[in-house]
């Protein structure tokens, strides 16, 4: 599995020295689109960090470049969400415990409410 990340949102493309002055949000959007295309063409996962920020300037550190704590949480959440939605293996250890975990409610009453005559045990078959 390969996971490609798009660029993150930033607010200051003039920070640092003149070598960095060529960037812009428009260029980041284009880079983001092309990264997504590469991911699709190569059966990779893609995380759209630029969209995840939603242009929220308060998620960028005061340096205008890096994410602040909230921005890092957004990045981590987006990466985890993509992995969780595409990597069923993450749930395998949880599935192994189903037989040992008591139900959090009596599922048989729910099943009866929806017309099931024979209530089954909680969890997968």
Q: Please give the pLDDT value at position 74.
A: 97
What confidence category does residue 85 fall into, taking pLDDT thresholds of 50, 70 and 90?
A: very high
3-state secondary structure the chain: CCEEECCCCCCCCCCCCHHHCCCCHHHHHHHHHHHHHHHHHCCCEEECHHHHHCCCHHHECCCCCCECHHHHHHHHHHHHHHHHHHCHHHHHHHHHCCCCCCCCCCHHHHHHHCCCCCCCCCCCC
Residue ranges, comma separated, of all CATH 3.40.50.1110 domains in the chain are 3-86
pLDDT in tens, 97-106: 777 777 666 6
What confidence category does residue 124 fall into, taking pLDDT thresholds of 50, 70 and 90?
A: very low
Which CATH class, in words, describes the domain spanning 3-86? alpha beta
pLDDT in tens, 42-58: 999 999 999 999 999 99
């Amino acid at each position: 599995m390969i996971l490609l990340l798009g660029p993150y949102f930033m607010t200051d493309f003039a920070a640092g020295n003149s070598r960095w002055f060529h960037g812009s949000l428009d260029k980041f959007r284009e880079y983001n689109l092309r990264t997504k295309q590469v991911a699709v063409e190569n059966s990779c996962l893609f995380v759209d960090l630029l969209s995840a920020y939603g242009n929220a300037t308060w998620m960028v550190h005061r340096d205008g470049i890096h994410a602040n704590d909230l921005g890092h949480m957004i990045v981590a959440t987006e990466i985890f969400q993509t992995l969780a939605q595409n990597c069923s293996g993450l749930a395998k250890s949880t599935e192994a415990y189903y037989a040992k975990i008591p139900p959090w409610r009596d599922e048989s009453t729910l099943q009866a409410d929806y017309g099931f005559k024979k209530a089954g045990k909680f969890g997968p078959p």
